[in-house]
Amino acid sequence: MSVQIVEPRAAEPAPTPQFPLDQWYVAGFSWELKDKPIGRTFLNKPIVLFRTLEGDFCALENRCCHRALPLSDGTVEEGGIRCGYHGLLFDGTGRCIDIPGQTKIPGKAIVPAYHIREQDQILWIWFGSSSDSEPSFEPPQYDVHSSGRYLFDGDVYHYDAPWQLVHDNLMDLSHLGYVHLRTIGGNAKVHMNAEMKVEAGDEWVRVVRHMPGSTPPPTYTAAFPFKGEVDRWQEIEFHVNHLRIWSGAADAGTCDLNDPNRGGFHMKGFHGVTPETETTCHYFWSVATNPVRDPEETKQKVIEQSKMTFDEDKVVIESQYKNMLRFGDRPMIDIHVDVGPNRARKIVEKLKAHS
């Protein structure tokens, strides 16, 4: 009798996650959560966000464990969030604490909860590499919102495009002269030929662009009393869960563009780009400025102009993605302005592989 020896199969490697894990992602702004819950999907996970009557921020799976109605269709009340179908009440940890008409609460009446933190009016949600993953570090600080040196406001956009296309757009501001002529643009040739420096670490990329002797664009002249030509700067800092962009200008020849305390007109932007799915994302932004006259009126002008700018970006990025789908895997070339975006993509790939 012959005996067939079957060699054991080697275990197949686990698939690389679609997104970096063991990370904080932006879930919203604290001012969004008032007396009603908000339902959003992050990294393919449906989440309900709410603030308790005591002021605590909470994040649960957006599904009642009884009959699967989204909890975002319910109401916030003392103790937690109540399902809008049969009235089960869940506290901030996801535990059911009340079932109308029933005193006994099943032990399985639990909804998964997520770690959520509020920092400088930004809400951060933790996505770990396992269901019981605990945050290993605190979410980023952003003192532009809390220092009192700037006036700011912000909003939320939804993109029908992958999150990294938004990264690409924010990391490369050479497009301003073509996409944003009505707002923060300016001379396209000046933008494309601006002096640019790129540096990178293990988990960050920084792009600095200087444009001395520029004509100030409409957004700038609407907000600041420039005397003529200006020296412009753009400083972009990429992290996997958000970007910080400091742009602005001063009257030509009046300040050192390498001085972190320079004067002039400032726009400090926070850009939280969080994947919804592989093909859609959320974009949480705020813009802060330093008005020298009519503070509230000037801030409002800057915010309105910023919204116009982001509307323009959204049209371009979503149209870009539609065309990418139309043409499939056709190759694309790189040019000199792609150094920053390409380095950011390498960081995302590395973090995904280590998740």
Does the pLDDT at position 117 exceed 70?
Answer: yes
Of 230, 236, 247, residue with least CA distance to 288: 247
What pLDDT does residue 181 have? 64
Q: Which helix (H) or strand (E) holds 24?
A: strand 23-29
138-182 pLDDT per residue, tens: 999 999 999 999 999 999 999 999 999 999 999 987 776 667 666
What pLDDT does residue 12 have? 56
What pLDDT does residue 49 have? 98
What pLDDT does residue 13 have? 55
User: Which of the four pLDDT bands, split at 50, 70 and 90, describes residue 1?
Assistant: very low
What pLDDT does residue 61 have? 98
- How is residue 15 annotated by DSSP? P
Does the pLDDT at position 228 exceed 50?
Answer: yes
All structural domains of the chain: 23-127 (2.102.10.10), 151-353 (3.90.380.10)
Tell me if the pTM is above 0.85: yes
Residues 6+ apart with CB under 8 A from 102: none
269-291 pLDDT per residue, tens: 999 999 999 999 999 999 999 98
Alpha helices in 116-272 (DSSP H): 163-171, 176-179, 188-192, 218-223
- Asked which of 32-41, 94-103, 138-147, 258-267 is least confident by mean pLDDT, the reply is 258-267
Of 147, 110, 142, 112, residue with least CA distance to 24: 142
Give me the mean pLDDT over the 293-314 stretch: 91
